Structure 1
Amino acid sequence: MLAWLAEQRIQEAMRNGEFADLPGHGKPLELEDLSGVPEELRMSFKIMKNAGVVPEELTLRAECITLEELLAACLSSGNSDPAGRKSLESRLTVKRMRLEQLLRERGIGGSSAFTQYGDEIRRRLAGQEK
């Protein structure tokens, strides 16, 4: 009975245009897909996101991708700076090792095969078949 009454009041307010000036009116909702996050972590992830905090593994993944793109650009441009390329490769190795350690601590991807598989997927998506 209470749900029916609430629905009637909402419908009446809509007919009277009481919701027309709300922020976001007429725009699609931005829904968050947290289906891949365990239920017990969802609230903490939302709080972190709202506070502007990004989990370290996401930051590391983004840094790895950036370093991979820089290395690819060096290789494709024929960059003759071996020291710079070596520095990028070293930084990428350190980031990958830290990422692998974090994932192992969190029970995700317990081996380097997981990382290599991810690298292979990225190569294929980028059109860089072996």
Structure 2
Amino acid sequence: MLFLEALVERQIQEAQQQGMFDDLPGSGKPLILEDDSQVPENLRMSYRILKMSGFLPEALQLRQDALSLKTLLAQATDADKRSTYHAQLELIKSRLSHASLSAEFLYDIHYGEEVKRKIIGKG
């Protein structure tokens, strides 16, 4: 196997020296890599299919719901709505905790801005 790896590596280096990799689409731009290393190998394809279909894993959906509720809670003026939002947020925090996930992102004032920058591609 080492011989084959060395042969392939040499061919790649020769092609690189000849400029065969210059002017490729996306050259000079950061790679968009999907880090699914934390997803068990037997579930990766299912997760990719769900992601391409617009579905989020439960943990991400819970985080998204928690952030939405936090915003609603901050903007609510009606006491009943505030109470409802607060109860729903506490339920989500409990579910996150039960799944051994942190709810620290709810208390980090910079978290939302970082997420926005990543979504719109400025960071």
Residue matched to 2:26: 24
Residue matched to 1:85: 82
Question: How many pairs does the alignment contain?
Answer: 108
Identity %: 40
Is the 8 Å Cα contact of residues 67 and 88 (structure 1) preserved in structure 2?
yes
Gaps of 5+ in 2: 111-123
Map 1:107-118 → 2, pairs under 5 A? 108-109=99-100, 118=102
Q: Could you tell me the TM-score, scaled by structure 1's length? A: 0.57
Gaps of 5+ in 1: none
Q: Could you tell me the TM-score, scaled by structure 2's length? A: 0.59
Residue matched to 1:96: 92
Mapped partners of 1:124, 1:52: distance in 2? 27
Is the 8 Å Cα contact of residues 67 and 106 (structure 2) preserved in structure 1?
no
Shift in Å at residue 45 of structure 1? 2.6
Larger Cα-atom Rg: 1
Shift in Å at residue 6 of structure 1? 1.7
Residue matched to 2:108: 125
Q: 1:9 to 1:72 in 2, by over 3 A?
A: same
Counterpart amino acid of 1:34?
D
Is the 8 Å Cα contact of residues 13 and 19 (structure 1) preserved in structure 2?
yes
Shift in Å at residue 95 of structure 1? 5.9
Residue matched to 1:4: 6
Map 1:27-46 → 2, pairs under 5 A? 27-46=29-48
Which stretches of structure 1, 4 residues or more, deviate above 6 A after TM superposition? none
